[in-house]
Structure 1
């Protein structure tokens, strides 16, 4: 992102999509009592949020 690559925004968008998909899957497992999956879902959402912030700052 700091070098202004033409692929930076696309890469961050893809990363956010992957992190959101992972969070959704982890939520399903967390609903079955797997606390470590809740932690994973939270971390994935934080990553997606960071990616979305970088996208908005570079558009």
Structure 2
């Protein structure tokens, strides 16, 4: 991103998509009482949000 790659926005959007998919899967397991999966889902949601925000800057 710091070098102005024409792919920066796309990479950030794909990162957000991947993180959201991970969060969705972890949330399935978290609903069964797996605490570490709930924590993972939260981390993935934060990552997805950061990537989405970065895609607007790229």
User: Normalised by the size of structure 1, how large is the TM-score?
Assistant: 0.93
Across the aligned residues of Structure 1 and Structure 2, the Cα RMSD in angstroms comes to 0.7
User: Normalised by the size of structure 2, how large is the TM-score?
Assistant: 0.94
What is the aligned residue count?
58
Map of 1:18 onto structure 2 = 18
Map of 1:48 onto structure 2 = 48
Unpaired runs of at least 5, structure 1: none
Unpaired runs of at least 5, structure 2: none
State the 4+ residue runs in structure 1 displaced beyond 2 angstroms: none
